[in-house]
Chain A
Amino acid sequence: MRKKTKRSIKWIPSIKASKIKYAGIHLLAEFWHGKNIENPKELERVLVRGAKKAKNIPLKVFIHKFSPQGITGVVLLAESHIALHSWPEINYLAIDIFTCGEKTMPHRTLEYLKKRFQPKKIEIKEIKRGIIK
């Protein structure tokens, strides 16, 4: 477990470390001032590769480019979904990584996305969803 630092990431103990079991982990990330957030093909590639990095199975990718700018991309996974929403005009990217199952590692996807987009500022929230009784 990494300690919280000012303006940075709060890593919560993983599902495995906790006694309570959850159906899935949902990571919500805000990337500010990153690179390559305007190219739909690049976003599509990143979505699929990011999914595979976390041992997820990508099933279908959706990309929509808004006019005059902005892109929404969603990859539907066998284990839920990853979504990217970009606002190039303000250099902002909103990311959702929701995966279920014990074998998936959403943090790996996040690390991959950090490398690809190289944001100067990041905010991350982690939500555990669906307590298993």
Chain B
Amino acid sequence: MKNEKLKTEKKIYGKELILDLDDCDPKIIRSRRKILEYSNKLCQLIKVKKYGKPICKRFALHSPQAAGYSLVQLIETSSITVHFSELWNRAFINIFSCKLFDHKIAIDFTKKFFKAKKIKTRILIR
């Protein structure tokens, strides 16, 4: 029984890609249209199915550091979340999917789309 449990726990149940982007194009991260376009294109490129419509709103206006758009797109294999800081022109992106995806495609596309000068990537197998 114990061995069975351990075997189960050693399986891979998903991959999480964490991207922190610096010095993004200020116009792009302030455009709801462009942010939605990013989400749509990303889902196509990494071949994940969207579930429902995304929410994309400008939040946290009380805090200059956190103010900016946030996007949540549920996908059939988990979720994509994106947060922007307009003060610093930064983006904080999480792509979690239990269907394995090509993270290199996601990284390249994201960097180019937001015209980020710097990108920090982390990949977690969960």
Contact = CB atoms under 8 A, between A and B. Distances in A.
Contacts of B11: 90
Interface stretch (B31-39, B64-72, B109-117): B64-72
Given A79-B66, A80-B83, 7 more contacts: A62-B52, A74-B81, A78-B62, A81-B72, A85-B14, A85-B79, A127-B122
Interface in B1-35: 5, 8-9, 11, 13-14, 16, 18, 20
19 contacts: A24-B92, A28-B124, A59-B57, A60-B72, A64-B51, A72-B74, A72-B78, A74-B81, A76-B81, A78-B59, A78-B63, A80-B92, A81-B70, A81-B83, A83-B79, A83-B81, A92-B13, A98-B81, A98-B94
Given A62-B55, A64-B51, A85 B96 contact: yes
Nearest to A125: B124
B13 A87 contact: yes
Interface residues of A, number: 35
Q: Which of B16, B79, B96 has the most CB of A within 10 A?
A: B79
Interface residues of B, number: 37
A45 to B, nearest CB: 19
Contact of A23 (B8, B9, B65): B65
Interface in A82-126: 83, 85, 87, 90, 92, 94, 96, 98, 100-101, 121, 125
Nearest to A30: B126
